[in-house]
Amino acid sequence: MERSSVAVGRFTYGHDRMTVRQWKESANLRIGDFCSVAKGLTVFLGGGHRTDWITTFPFGHIFAEELGGTGIVGHPTTRGGVTIGSDVWIASNVTIFSGVATGDGAVIGGNATVTRDVGPFEGWAGNPARKIRDRF
């Protein structure tokens, strides 16, 4: 299985202080140009637990060696990569989950937990994050 990759655009700063979490899923993180990333950003590219199975415990991931070196297909899960557009401001201690796209010019408030797509030039905040206003 491919490893995840991270690509950061020109003049984006603060990304060196973020945490990217993934567990063998092949989802990618793309951050655009001219973004401002405050301390404490965590991006989950996977690690989701299956709630439609008999157990949410990731047996195949935790006990892969005991299972002959193979995991159980479909666990852990990912909803896909994360894309952050250009000129996005992400405040302190934000968490972004897999599969989320953030449009150009968006603002994400401090301590937000982003589980859905954020449109261009929208301001989002809260846990879970929701749209608060348009920038313009």
Distance CA(2)–CA(126), nearest Å, equals 33
Please give the pLDDT value at position 125: 98
Return per-residue pLDDT of the chain as tens, 136 residues. Answer: 445 689 999 999 997 789 998 876 678 999 999 999 999 999 999 777 777 887 777 776 677 677 665 666 666 677 889 999 999 999 999 999 999 999 999 999 999 999 999 999 999 999 999 999 999 9
pLDDT for 87: 99
Active site residues: 49
End-to-end CA distance of the chain: 43
Domain ranges of the chain: 1-105
Q: What are phi and psi of 34, to 5 degrees?
A: 60, 35
pTM to 2 decimals? 0.84
For domain 1-105, give the fold: UDP N-Acetylglucosamine Acyltransferase; domain 1 (2.160.10)
